Structure 1
Amino acid sequence: MTTHLVSTDEPATPGVEKSDEPESILVSRGAFDARSLVTSMPLALRKLAPRAQARNPVMFVVFLGAVVTTVLALLRPSRFSWTVAAWLWFTVLFANLAEAVAEGRGRAQADSLRKVKRDTIARRLCADDDLAGVGATEEVAGSDLRIGDLVLVEAGEVIAGDGDVVDGIATVDESAITGESAPVVRESGGDRSAVTGGTVVLSDRIVVRITTAPGETFVDRMIALVEGAARTKTPNEIALDILLTSLTVIFLLAVVAVAPMQEYAGQSPDPVKLIALLVCLIPTTIGALLSSIGIAGMDRLVQRNVLAMSGRAVEAAGDIDTLLMDKTGTITYGNRRATDLCPAPGVSVDELARVAHRCSLADDTPEGRSIVELCRSAYGVAPDEGTDPDRRVTDTIIPFTAQTRMSGVDSDGVDSDGGGALVEYRKGAADAVTRWVVAGEGTVDDTVAADVERVSSAGGTPLVVGVRTHGQPARVMGVIALSDVVKPGMTARFAQLRAMGIRTVMVTGDNPLTARAIATEAGVDDFVAEATPEQKLDLIRAEQAAGRLVAMTGDGTNDAPALAQADVGLAMNTGTSAAKEAGNMVDLDSDPTKLIEVVGIGKQLLITRGALTTFSLANDLAKYFAILPAMFTAVYPQLDALNIMGLHSAQSAIVSAVIFNALIIVALIPLSLRGVRYRPDSASKLLGRNLLVYGVGGVVTPFIGIWLIDLVVRLLPGMG
């Protein structure tokens, strides 16, 4: 394995954003609105069950407080006790509402996916080794297919289950899954062999080997994921739960200690006041919104056509330090393309273009098609150039072989005058064409060898073009430069990752010379050349051993071990089943650079949780100083100096705080679902911004809110 450090002088461009974001028919990008609150209310009411409440320790305390307060209000009715009880129930309900809205958005997406999932009739091959699909078939329900079954699918038919194409090539309509209207090509023997149940074959025929059991298909997993049914708490959520539970216990002990203090001061403890005080002091805001933040994070991924297999993967994406990207098909287009023509001495570029076009017309490889495209678009060669209606031409295609390392065509024609001659066109490896020219009594100019060396040094592949007319010496026409073309915009995207503090590493099996050229052009921070699947795995383990989180994108079976080892493994939907099973995320658009958006969403989730936690704790601190002075002012008049808001009485202060506590949850639901805006910046600046906005805001907002509510509450009878 060869590793080189590539110095890049591309400036960081944190403002670069992707404008052509892919749309999907599976998701709605509508902003949060009041309608979603109304439609989610029935689910929020169902979540009032004690078993559902017990999953959230903080809100379970509020739930128990609401139950006890309601009982006390029944035993000793008063306007104050009933008001507190009502708003405590509203607090619990609004907390459920935040989670219900997030889950409701996922269910809407799941309903769309269910329309894709349908039980189709499959034509299963009776002979397991009949890959040609010419033998007998039997019709079975898609739900009866088993792993390993071979299914024949022809144009117009629905693919009955997830699998890999083992024979044939076809265009497939995957719009129901990806939202992309353009059909895609699926073929056997490559990294684009995976097909998904529910998609439709548009042309030709393929034989699919089923790789998943009924009920475990890709669409089934998508439905479960977007509904959040399989979402487990991440380590950060568990740690935050422990912190919030600890704070709840501390405040519970503190409130319990208030009762003896009141008795000592000559006041009769009021359980309703103490319960209300406890609810206002514990971190109810973040406790109510914590679950919705995590669900909304996964929902934002689905909106971008990325499915995360767990919340852990989303959070890990926000913390990654190193990104490994496969070169072929990720940073580059994957197939080498013709990018330049270098004519030999005495040959014009137009002559070279015509000959290169002629000897590539029958070449159906991606490289051959790119040569034809280059000659037509850049050099104006007409599609029918070189043909003559008065000339009867017999073309003999010369295919590429490993022995000759050349391909081309022999044209033998007779014109109307009876003349004509055999013309041989060849293109191929420099040494092979050189030997062919020399054998045809021709010579090769040193300039051609220099052009070959120059193209090779730049990481490209040189193809030499030669022509020989019967009875004349063969001659070299020039050199075609094939290059592994870097996708547009990659340099800006890598600069954006660098602004996020992420180190990018290109992994390729190419030689170091080619790898260096591509890495420099793309703007990655580092590259690894001549890498095997085992070396990719070792590289990820080495990064993780150094304490760094690693993300990996890939689409091939050879990427599966690395995808499984990486903290974030983003597999392409067009890739093999092995790659999709190994990764913990799947990109339905098969855009490897989508990982930039995934990282942004992960960071946004972490920042949102941190910002709302900061706001909640600061909020509780402010409520503490707002309520306690009002509660004890009657006994200790000196505390009135701390009643800076001038709250009317202990009762009005408590009711105002309880009302504010419920309303602030509703006010923050849109933010928890939308997420705090993330802008690539250093961790210290992000922390400072959050402390300023949400820390200071969390202290100021309760003072203003409680004071305004108290102005209204004090006017109500029974609150004096």
Structure 2
Amino acid sequence: MTCASCANRVERKLNKLDGVRATVNFATERATVTTPTGLPLERLVGAVEAAGYTAAPVAEEPADEAADDAAFDDEAGELRERFLLSALLSAPVVAVSMVPAWQFPTWQWVVFALASVVVVVCAWPFHRAAAVNLRHGATTMDTLVSMGVVVAYLWSAYALLFGGAGEVGLRHEFSLLPGGGHTADVYFEVGVAVTTFLLLGRWLEARSKRRAGSALRALLALGAKDVAVLRGGTEVRVPIGGLRAGELFVVRPGEKVATDGEVVEGGSAVDRSLVTGESVPEEVGPGAAVVGGTLNTSGRLVVRATRVGADTQLAQMARLVEQAQTGKAQVQRLADRVSAVFVPVVLVIAAATLAGWLLSGAAADAAVTAAVAVLVIACPCALGLATPTALLVGTGRGAQLGILVKGPEVLESTRRVTTVVLDKTGTVTTGRMSVAELLPAEGVTAERLLRVAGAVESGSEHPIARAIAARAAEDAPLPPVEHFHSTEGLGVTGVVAGEDVVVGRPRLLAQHGVAGVNELERARAEAEARGSTVVAVAAGGRALGLVAVADAVKATSAAAITALRDLGLRPVLLTGDNTRVAEAVAARVGITDVIAEVLPGEKVDAVRHLQSRGEVVAMVGDGVNDAPALAAADLGLAMGTGADAAIEAGDLTLVRGDLRLAADAIRLSRRTLATIKGNLFWAFAYNAAGIPLAAFGLLNPMLAGAAMALSSVFVVSNSLRLRGFRASAS
């Protein structure tokens, strides 16, 4: 494909098939197709071929990067060779034609010979594509280019052979404006200069598109090529495709983790920056999860593969990025509708320009030159590149930073968002409970309080219990607990060193007749006001004190809230925790609006209530219970450290658990959308200004060719500026 008209033609052909919905991306030269069950692939390929193009299914596994590089080198190499040959031959043609002092007696015949090679050989890709499309009753950018070059060449050849321009000693006065009025003038320089400029533009465009997609290719290249698998106690190095889920494999220092898995032996620090953008290596040991594509920096690890091939996080990231890059934003659909009728309209304008100049009594060469200028200036390359190149760069840069955008329509949603609803646990806080305070009763040491509580809680799987037991076990081995019993919603009981121990809510202690519980009420209220969950501890019928457990606020949450406010967004904390805890957490990070004590199913109602008040809501969450609210929100941002259900329901996935990424994701999305709109504006403005200038004879075709080529390069270069986007979450 060579322009947006090509992509639109293929898209229309595919969408004519019953039940087929297709989107064709010009920049990536790929089609995303939804088909009814049972539709053979041959029907889709046949539809593309009927439009005059070729097609092949995209492999499920990432393509071989070396093969991709070779294909690109072949395409770019051919364009480069044609451009260099065209430039070499065109330089003397343009120079002699433009400077009368350099015009020797038979200059026009030498120019004719050189121009013939350029027009026939160097411009052949334009002629070939125009002919193929003509056979299928279609017109594209190549039609305009081919017609412009051929008309300028044939008109000049006619003047040379039959119009007196072949006379020895003829001088040709060059003007930047058409309409010199000399019937013997030749315009070979127009055909060769347009060809040279457009080949240069195509070559630069191909290189720029390659750079635009570099982030996705880098993401695909992160995976290991081979892996040392443990089979029968022996290490066997096999290609990565030979690794199966459940197998053990070895990762040595300096090697990439081959696939997603769980460490079963060894310890090391794993650098996750290539996948998540997180700059600080993470310490891992037995039981820790590792992600394929990350780098083992120190110790030897033995890992059990849990997900392989297309199921890995890296493959899913690449798939999400590619899906976003092959989609179309709503703003692009206007450009598609315009480009679908653009070329025929331009042909009509060119014909009207020719007729108008001739009817006004102008010289034939002026009329032809003005019509050629219209054909050349109107090529819609920039329109076709405006959206896909910005998407390529924006979504690719996002992937490098740990931000995955599901589709281009998400970009438009970010522009309208007014309120950001934040789940508390795992989003604003770490999601991991830890002992915040020990509040022993009078005459009781903190060590005894923690040791007794930890011994009984070691028998429970509750997150609060695990936090207390883990903290207590740090100081010394815990004594055994006997007669352990759990009362749902209240706490646990047991016997430790011959003493009856009760750990839980004050009500549970009261039920067991524990003395001294009321004396702890003030300390309990103060601890809860600081955002902690408080557990009372008693032994031998007497209250020993309180253990305050808290879900620690992430160190970056306050900065993230500030960044969201700077974007003009109102943050709202949404949680199932009690109001006092929620308000304490909100106060620590700078949130003033709190919705607390909501059940998981009520989170959706909270989002819809905000929407009913006219708010455009973005929801940030990580848990299974957040998935319905993420789906109901106008924009869902899922923390990639959370549940798969939440990630599936979100529109944007934040690969690591840094809340600042939410602000970065919205900033990047808005900047990408602004780049798309800027590209489209300049593409439309370029044609809106250029066509009238050419039609009224104010633009030489040679300059029109240069301007057209530069417009495409400008659009791609403008998109490439997104590669410089800097995240605050670094």
Q: Give the Cα separation in 2 of the matches to 1:233 and 1:65.
A: 26
Partner of 1:334: 431
Corresponding position: 1:292 with 2:376: no
Partner of 1:452: 524
Q: Give the Cα separation in 2 of the matches to 1:330 and 1:46.
A: 54
Corresponding position: 1:72 with 2:167: no
Shift of 1:121: 7.4
Q: Give the Cα separation in 1 of the matches to 2:131 and 2:618.
A: 36
Partner of 2:674: 607
Corresponding position: 1:670 with 2:717: yes
Deviation string 1:567-590 (CA, Å, 9 cap, x unpaired) is 544333333444444444433323
Corresponding position: 1:231 with 2:349: no
Corresponding position: 1:302 with 2:399: yes
Quick one: which of 570, 577, 588 aligns to 1:510?
577
Shift of 1:622: 4.8
Q: Give the Cα separation in 1 of the matches to 2:631 and 2:131.
A: 35
Q: Give the Cα separation in 1 of the matches to 2:715 and 2:141.
A: 18
Partner of 2:505: 429
Quick one: which of 168, 174, 178 aligns to 2:276?
178
Shift of 1:340: 4.1
Q: Give the Cα separation in 1 of the matches to 2:504 and 2:266.
A: 27
Deviation string 1:616-635 (CA, Å, 9 cap, x unpaired) is 44444554675566x2xxxx
Q: CA contact under 8 A between 2:266 and 2:301: conserved in structure 1?
A: yes
Higher relative contact order (CA 8 A, sep 6+): 1
Q: CA contact under 8 A between 1:395 and 1:409: conserved in structure 2?
A: no
Shift in alpha-carbon separation, 1:320–1:466, aligned structure 2, 3 A? same
Partner of 1:690: none
Deviation string 1:282-312 (CA, Å, 9 cap, x unpaired) is 6654444433122112122122122333333
Residue aligned with 2:328, SS: coil
After superposition, where does 1:632-643 map in structure 2 within 5 Å? Answer: none
Quick one: which of 90, 106, 115 aligns to 2:213?
106
Shift of 1:332: 1.3
Q: Give the Cα separation in 2 of the matches to 1:52 and 1:550.
A: 49
Deviation string 1:397-437 (CA, Å, 9 cap, x unpaired) is 448752483589957xxxxxxxxxx999986433445677x
Shift of 1:672: 1.8
What's the TM-score, normalizing by structure 1? 0.62
Shift in alpha-carbon separation, 1:576–1:117, aligned structure 2, 3 A? farther
Shift of 1:331: 1.0
Unaligned runs of 5+ in 1: 1-36, 126-137, 377-382, 388-393, 412-421, 632-649, 680-720
Quick one: which of 534, 542, 545 aligns to 1:462?
534
Partner of 2:194: 87
Q: Give the Cα separation in 2 of the matches to 1:229 and 1:443.
A: 62
Shift of 1:230: 6.4
Shift in alpha-carbon separation, 1:573–1:538, aligned structure 2, 3 A? same
Q: CA contact under 8 A between 1:570 and 1:585: conserved in structure 2?
A: yes
Q: Give the Cα separation in 2 of the matches to 1:283 and 1:544.
A: 40
Q: CA contact under 8 A between 2:627 and 2:649: conserved in structure 1?
A: yes
Shift of 1:106: 2.9
Q: CA contact under 8 A between 1:342 and 1:479: conserved in structure 2?
A: yes
Shift of 1:258: 2.0
Partner of 2:479: 396
Shift of 1:102: 3.9
Quick one: which of 313, 330, 351 aligns to 2:410?
313
Q: Give the Cα separation in 2 of the matches to 1:557 and 1:193.
A: 19
Q: Give the Cα separation in 1 of the matches to 2:624 and 2:269.
A: 21
After superposition, where does 1:349-428 map in structure 2 within 5 Å? Answer: 352-356=445-449, 358-359=451-452, 396-398=479-481, 401-403=485-487, 405=491, 428=504
Q: Give the Cα separation in 2 of the matches to 1:463 and 1:654.
A: 83
Q: Give the Cα separation in 2 of the matches to 1:324 and 1:309.
A: 20
Q: Give the Cα separation in 2 of the matches to 1:43 and 1:104.
A: 18
User: Which residue identity does 2:479 align to in structure 1?
Assistant: T
Q: CA contact under 8 A between 2:276 and 2:400: conserved in structure 1?
A: no
What's the TM-score, normalizing by structure 2? 0.61
Q: What number of residue pairs does the alignment pair up?
A: 565
User: Which residue identity does 1:402 align to in structure 2?
Assistant: S
Corresponding position: 1:553 with 2:632: no
Shift of 1:327: 1.4
Q: CA contact under 8 A between 1:503 and 1:525: conserved in structure 2?
A: no
Q: CA contact under 8 A between 2:404 and 2:654: conserved in structure 1?
A: yes
Shift in alpha-carbon separation, 1:501–1:428, aligned structure 2, 3 A? same
Partner of 1:264: 359
Residue aligned with 1:324, SS: strand
Q: Give the Cα separation in 2 of the matches to 1:39 and 1:592.
A: 44
Partner of 1:488: 555
Partner of 1:709: none
Q: CA contact under 8 A between 1:99 and 1:292: conserved in structure 2?
A: no
Shift in alpha-carbon separation, 1:336–1:162, aligned structure 2, 3 A? closer
User: Which residue identity does 1:64 align to in structure 2?
Assistant: T
User: Which residue identity does 2:193 align to in structure 1?
Assistant: A
Partner of 2:567: 500
Corresponding position: 1:573 with 2:573: no
User: Which residue identity does 1:256 align to in structure 2?
Assistant: A
Shift of 1:596: 1.3
Partner of 2:46: none
Residue aligned with 2:552, SS: coil
Deviation string 1:437-469 (CA, Å, 9 cap, x unpaired) is x65xx545x54212223434555312335577x
Q: Give the Cα separation in 2 of the matches to 1:594 and 1:575.
A: 14
After superposition, where does 1:643-654 map in structure 2 within 5 Å? Answer: 653-654=700-701
User: Which residue identity does 1:396 align to in structure 2?
Assistant: P
Residue aligned with 2:377, SS: helix
Q: Give the Cα separation in 1 of the matches to 2:685 and 2:509.
A: 77
